Structure 1
Amino acid sequence: MTSPTKYVAYIDEAGDDGLKNVANVDGYFGSDWFVLSCVVARYNYTLRFPDLLEEARSSAGMPSGRDIHFVKLNNHKRNKICGILAASQIRWFAAISHKNNMRSYHNKRAQSVSKKRNTLYNWLTRLILERVTQYCHDDLIKLKQPVYPQALKVIMSSRGGLTHGDIGSYISKLWIQSRSSSLYLNKGYVDFDIFAPSGLSIKNNFDVAGLQLADIVASSIYKSLPQKIQSNPCSAFIDELLPRCAERNGMREEFGITFWPQNWRHTLSPEKSNALKGLLK
């Protein structure tokens, strides 16, 4: 029987999403940045993801079947793994937030939906889903295939203690607002014509090859970002993966890569601003 699923999107994170403590401000040994990444591919290609991971492990000299936790690898292994992904058919998206610029931001509507996860995590998830659903919708149109809510499945990592109740209630609320034309923030929207809230699931990274690929993307971005706890950032890994970043009209910014807050060019230090510009080259 043919699967109704046409695309699968896998979402993972790097850094922590807490806004209360930031290393450069509070003397707290935490991250300045939070990165949410998504790897998406046509369903039939996702069936090859275990083999793709095995090829990546082999190129890096890693044992077969081992979980690829990118941040714990040495640079040689990271480069080998990114080289394999660069030659694949995946597309990836990322939402990147400089947390210090979000410290005074509060959204009571969003906070009322999910008590465990904060507003930043929910908001970046929405930004990712807006762009991924648009990408998949456009691809179905290009293929001259029908658009329907079961076409896209989304699998999110349980890393960090995420549960379905945390993010599911937020996505369901967006669905209700979308269907009643009452989105509180309506500059962008999740295309629920191609994705239904019931198509969301939370799984362990070790069990899902696609989540390990999303971890590689998120960690590659994170390793390129300057911050107090990372004195020697390296952009070589994400540079290798940039050709697989999703684009719209030949542009990555605000589609394949989204920065938050949006006025980052005016608020970040030259060093940090240049690191983000490097992702758009």
Structure 2
Amino acid sequence: MVQSFVAYIDESGDEGFGKLRQEGKTGQSRWLSLGSAIVSAENDRFVPSWRNEIMELFPKKQNRDLHFRYLNHDQRVAACSVLAAKPVGICVVASNKETLIDSPKFEIFKRKQHLYNYLVRFLLERITDACAKAAARDGDSAKLSIVFSRRSGTDYQSMREYLCLMRDGKEVLRPVRSINWNVLDPDNIRVENHSIRAGLQIADIFTSATSSALDPNEFGHIEPRYALTLRNRYIRRNKRILDCGLTLIPAIGRCPLSNEQLAFIEEINKK
């Protein structure tokens, strides 16, 4: 038997390196995060009702499009609290852009969409692995459909070609992990508008909640409460969230983190 899953994917932050945000100043994000909301095909039909349940908490909001950045702190906590009780998985890959500036590959990552595609690969490696293992527990195989939130300036055809290149084993440098191509067919990828797909709005909450715990705001502060509220929804590998439900690039031992960021990682990764 085949178990079907859907992963809705959104991002938080930007790819730019021109002027990274510093304390007391505005600028481009210091992190780029790509995240997903993963549901079984059976539960996918309930996703709009989850979004509506959240919006019913904010009766004064005229715009019924759920978007993390338009919610205040209390509304964000409330939204995460609702989703923490739903049968949905979270997977986020977060790149510390500052570490790329002195990298030998910096000129590559400066090119349009290269960092984004790089994170897509990491994300899909983890999602396909999690879906395969979830289905295998019942003796089944898994199939995954992907829905990306439409992103201005992104060439999704180029991204599909990149995925096919990996599928066909034509990468110059082979990754440590790989996307499970028995689970994902690049043809099962769609791109839709955030405003019309509740699943993309849920993915936005998950990705932005995680980014808030890692990417300091213009005052130099992070806010881990949103992600910690959702802690039990992050997918795990060997009972650990780190490098599965939450992956840092570079890995934690090489990623410069503040004491606040380290405390968040330690807390969310508790067994």
Per the normalisation by structure 2, the TM-score is 0.88
**Secondary structure of the corresponding residue to residue 59 of structure 1:** coil
- Is the CA contact 2:31–2:215 (under 8 Å) kept in the aligned structure 1? no
Residue 279, structure 1, aligned to residue 271, structure 2: no
Task: Write the mapping of 1:41-120 to structure 2, written as runs, cut at 5 A.
Answer: 41-61=39-59, 63=61, 66-105=64-103, 107=105, 116-118=112-114, 120=115
Displacement, 1:5? Answer: 7.2
Give me the whole-angstrom Cα distance separating, in 1, the residues matched to 2:61 and 2:78: 14
Quote the residue 2:154 is aligned against: 162
Going from structure 1 to structure 2, the CA distance change for 1:94 and 1:139 (only over 3 Å counts) comes to: same
**Secondary structure of the corresponding residue to residue 56 of structure 2:** helix
- Is the CA contact 1:61–1:77 (under 8 Å) kept in the aligned structure 2? no
Going from structure 1 to structure 2, the CA distance change for 1:171 and 1:137 (only over 3 Å counts) comes to: same
- Is the CA contact 2:30–2:96 (under 8 Å) kept in the aligned structure 1? yes
Quote the residue 2:121 is aligned against: 126
Give me the whole-angstrom Cα distance separating, in 2, the residues matched to 1:50 and 1:137: 25
Displacement, 1:164? Answer: 1.7
Alignment counterpart, residue 197 of structure 1, candidates 183, 186, 210: 186
Quote the residue 1:146 is aligned against: 141
Count of residues in correspondence between the two structures: 268
Displacement, 1:230? Answer: 4.6
**Aligned residues: CA RMSD:** 2.6
Task: Return 5+ residue gaps in structure 2 as ranges.
Answer: none
- Is the CA contact 2:249–2:255 (under 8 Å) kept in the aligned structure 1? no
- Is the CA contact 1:16–1:33 (under 8 Å) kept in the aligned structure 2? yes
Give me the whole-angstrom Cα distance separating, in 2, the residues matched to 1:186 and 1:266: 19
Q: Identity of paired residues, percent?
A: 25
Going from structure 1 to structure 2, the CA distance change for 1:23 and 1:139 (only over 3 Å counts) comes to: same
Deviation per residue, 1:72-99 (Å, 9 max, x gap): 2111111111111001000010101111
Task: Return 5+ residue gaps in structure 1 as ranges.
Answer: none
Return the letter of the residue paired with 1:154. I
Quote the residue 1:268 is aligned against: 257
Going from structure 1 to structure 2, the CA distance change for 1:146 and 1:100 (only over 3 Å counts) comes to: closer
Give me the whole-angstrom Cα distance separating, in 2, the residues matched to 1:212 and 1:279: 23
Deviation per residue, 1:4-55 (Å, 9 max, x gap): 8710001101111223432239x76111111111111101101111111000
Quote the residue 2:235 is aligned against: 246
Return the letter of the residue paired with 1:136. C
Alignment counterpart, residue 209 of structure 2, candidates 220, 227, 241: 220
Task: Write the mapping of 1:16-35 to structure 2, written as runs, cut at 5 A.
Answer: 16-24=14-22, 29-35=27-33
Return the letter of the residue paired with 2:37. V
Going from structure 1 to structure 2, the CA distance change for 1:152 and 1:266 (only over 3 Å counts) comes to: closer
Quote the residue 1:186 is aligned against: 175
Q: Which has the higher helix share?
A: 1
Displacement, 1:186? Answer: 3.0
Q: Which has the higher strand share?
A: 2
Going from structure 1 to structure 2, the CA distance change for 1:146 and 1:243 (only over 3 Å counts) comes to: closer
